[in-house]
Structure 1
Amino acid sequence: MDAPASRIFAILASPERHPDIDGSGTVRGSRFGPPELAPDARFGMDMKLFGLPYRMTNRVVEYEKDRLIAWRHFGTHRWRYELEELPGGGTRVTETFDYSRGFSQFYVLAGMPARNARGIEATLVRLKELAERE
């Protein structure tokens, strides 16, 4: 992305901005939480999946300012963003959804890996557009 890691991280660390970057179509809005996420911060989101609204509470479980942020909800899997500033300018952003910490069979059977892969691709496009525009 043609933006500094600090700008990209600021977007990721703001729960209010998550609906702006969500490429899955599931994140509807922020319910509670700090304006900027920090280690162990909790934040709630309004969500919608398969036409059904629900609420999700997340907790930041990995955090290195301007480099790494990850959160999880009641499950053990996590959403993770790694940022690496490139020598020639810009930032490489890697988003992952880690199933390795439990419930993996359920998610595989439900077809979630393919769905999440499409959402990740779309999220990275939206994040890039937003970060480069600001």
Structure 2
Amino acid sequence: MATKKVARSVVIAAPAEEIFDVLASPYRHPDFDGSSTVKGQIHGPDRLELGAEFGMDMRLGVGYRMTNRVVEFVPDRLIAWRHLGAHRWRWELEPLADGTTRVTETFDYSYAMSFAYQLAGWPSRNARAIEQTLPRLKLLVEDAA
């Protein structure tokens, strides 16, 4: 099966560690979510690690709750989670020589029934959400510095 991913990147004027701290805190996710579906954390740790589960209040037309599990984790460099659907949200941080960090967010649906995801339009919806999320994360982190 071909790998199916939607990814976008942004350069943030902050060290990878500071950005990772925001990403690894599920309480902060509503602050930078560009999809406007993440409303708040309902359970889980303050800081994520490999295997951690965290629940979020969500809204896409109607309210619902989603439990996620961290499935990839390299401190200050990579974090990815998934819920009971097999697709993943992945964040990769690449420190650059000038002290900034390239952040790449990826919606990876290669683990799922990709045809159904494409038919439902999820890849393009998630691309638009990523394009709104990354500037919000940039502003959030740079304003805190």
Q: Number of matched residues?
A: 133
Give % identity. Answer: 65
Match of 2:57 among 42, 46, 52: 46
TM-score, structure 1 length as denominator? 0.97
TM-score, structure 2 length as denominator? 0.90
The alignment yields a C-alpha RMSD, in angstroms, of: 0.6
4+ residue segments displaced more than 6 Å:
none
Segments of 5+ residues of structure 2 without an aligned counterpart are 1-11
Alignment of 1:56-75 (within 5 A): 56-75=66-85
Measure how far apart 1:67 and its partner are: 0.3
The residue identity in structure 1 corresponding to 2:35 is S
1:107 aligns with 2:117: yes
Partner Cα distance (2:34, 2:106) in 1: 13
1:9 aligns with 2:20: yes
1:81 aligns with 2:91: yes
Alignment of 1:115-134 (within 5 A): 115-134=125-144
Segments of 5+ residues of structure 1 without an aligned counterpart are none
